[in-house]
């Protein structure tokens, strides 16, 4: 079993707008067979912008199975 956690911040000063971007993610990998692992992750992103209609919030859940050989 392996966990992951991440956070980041970005400031983008573009020609026609300025954005503040906040990101966070958490996840877990669980090996349930020698070559197979289940993965669950959650990612969050929020963009605050001074440009009209450019703000957004994004929530993404991912579930998967990976195999190695």
Q: Contact, 37 vs 14, CB < 8 A?
A: no
Predicted confidence at residue 1, as pLDDT, reads 84
Instruction: Report pTM.
Output: 0.80
Distance CA 32, CA 14 (A): 46
For all residues of the chain together, what is the average pLDDT? 95
Q: For residue 46, which of 60, 57, 35 has the smallest C-alpha distance?
A: 57
pLDDT tens digits along 33-56: 989 999 999 999 999 999 999 999
Distance CA 10, CA 19 (A): 8
Mean pLDDT, rounded, for 65-69 = 90
Q: Give me the phi and psi of 38, to 5 degrees please.
A: -100, 145
pLDDT tops 90 at residue 69:
no
């Amino acid at each position: 079993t392996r966990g992951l956690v991440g956070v980041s911040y970005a400031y983008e000063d573009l020609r026609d707008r300025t954005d503040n971007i906040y990101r966070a993610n958490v996840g877990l990998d669980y090996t349930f067979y020698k070559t197979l692992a289940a993965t669950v992750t959650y990612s969050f992103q929020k963009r605050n912008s001074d440009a009209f209609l450019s703000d957004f919030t994004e929530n993404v859940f991912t579930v998967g199975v990976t195999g190695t050989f």
